[in-house]
Amino acid sequence: MAETTGSDAATGDAAPRLRKPSWKYIGPGIVVAATGVGAGDLVATLIAGSKFGYTLLWAAIIGCLVKISLAEATGRWHLATGRTLFEGWRSLGQWTTWYFAIYVVVWGFVYGATAMSSSALPLVALFPDGPSLKTWAILCGLIGLAFVWFNRYAVFEKVMTVVIGMKFLIVVYVAIRVAPDLGNAFAGLAPVLPDGSLLYTLGLIGGVGGTITMAAYGYWVNSKGWTDISWLRVMRLDNRVAYITTGVFVVAMMIIGAELLHSTNIALTSGDRGLIDLGNVLEDKFGAVTANLFLIGFFATSFGALMGVWHGVSLMFADFVERLRRERDGSAPKAPEAGEVTAGADEMVKEVAAGKREKSVPFRAYLLWLTFPPMGLLFLDQPFGLVVAYGVLGAFFMPFLALTLLWLLNSSRTPKQWRNGILSNVMLAGAGLLFLVLCVQQVRDLPW
């Protein structure tokens, strides 16, 4: 990965002194870890563990390394160029704007309903005599809306730190409780592909923690106040903490799937309801306290993902709208010409760092879009055409992210000393190929 202490091509002066990494700065990575691993990711890992035991543990580890590379590339673009990822996409052509505009509208509409329902499921299980699933789902959406609407990044980060702590402690506790077979677990680090495991393997490598929140990472980096390349080493430590934490979740859930489900041939319901099934299995084996703790962890996972998307994707949407508006009235920062590099953050990045986007009309409009229109889907089966459109757009996002980052970070849009090294290029190219394969498979699996 790119790193240097040489001269600054933009200014001709010595390169800025890179700040020493320190745990006291950690923050955006915690947010992306709390957001990126949702209930669906936990179910996918559980099912892989239940079908193949520990055999695919190596794939989960590789998946975390892939995500570290992707998030590092996103953060490095923001810090090295002083521009947001959306401006980078704009520089690649109008097609990126059209894709993002359609994606963020359709994806947000369907995801809003999915996130609210997923957050409601464990609450219904914890309080069986309480409100219905739809009522809990609406309450979760409204609470997420109010929290993000009235708070700024600093408070948001602190709350997400609590969420990640709950997820981490509870999932690891349950994994220890089921008494993992350490010998088999270490054997699972050897790259082996059992019959019928290829798609599960690709899904583990590419799926867990891989969503639009990876693109939002750069915006959270800026919101933290990191706006220039001096923060590069700090960002890299923050990013590694994020995906090592994610790796612990994945390994813990695979242990639970292998020990609790694979050894007893218990099958889970597909989708988020599979976690309710697991809660029932835990109650039978270890009692109500362990089962209820797991359901609390399930809620923290789902509601953390909801709040993270409500904040991070709204931030991206606000940047998208504001840049288009300023381009129309001629006040947008001038995009770099071929071969030209920039020094320092542009005005719009500084506005993100100052929290101005979180107060903007586009930010709040997208918050409302994520919350209220999707409530209608809670009372209806999702329309066939919408399901297909959501699936296609979602399948294309991760290859879009990996391949556009590969393009941006090897071009003159990025200062020479901060462009990709061999390792970054290998990881991003591999990620792009992996996500293209997964994209084709997801599109083939849609209910056409």
Residue 386 vs residue 235, higher pLDDT: 235
What average pLDDT is seen over the chain? 86
Listed range (185-194, 226-235, 363-372) with the worst mean pLDDT:
185-194
Q: Over the stretch 246-299, which tens digit does the pLDDT of each residue have? A: 888 888 888 988 888 776 676 666 666 778 888 888 999 899 999 999 999 999
35-51: pLDDT as tens digits: 887 777 777 788 888 88
Long-range CB contacts for residues 86-91, cutoff 8 Å, separation at least 24: 86/316, 86/319, 86/320, 86/323, 87/323, 87/333, 87/335, 87/346, 87/348, 88/404, 88/408, 88/413, 89/404, 90/323, 90/335, 91/335, 91/336, 91/408, 91/413
pLDDT digits (tens, 9 = 90+) for 77-127: 999 999 999 999 999 999 999 999 999 998 999 889 888 988 999 999 999
pLDDT of residue 339: 47
Give the CA distances from residue 7 to residues 17, 20, 76, 81, in Å, rounded to whole numbers and listed in that order. 11, 19, 18, 15
- Higher pLDDT, residue 395 or 87: 87
Q: What is the mean pLDDT of residues 196-208?
A: 75
pTM of the model: 0.90
Buried b (16+ CB within 10 A) or exposed e, 61-92: bbbbebbbbbbbbbbbbbbbbbbbbbbbbbbe
- pLDDT tens column, 293-344: 999 999 999 999 999 999 999 999 999 999 999 888 877 666 555 444 555 6
pLDDT of residue 207: 65
**pLDDT at residue 6, rounded to an integer:** 38
222-254 pLDDT, tens per residue?
999 999 999 999 999 999 998 888 888 888 888
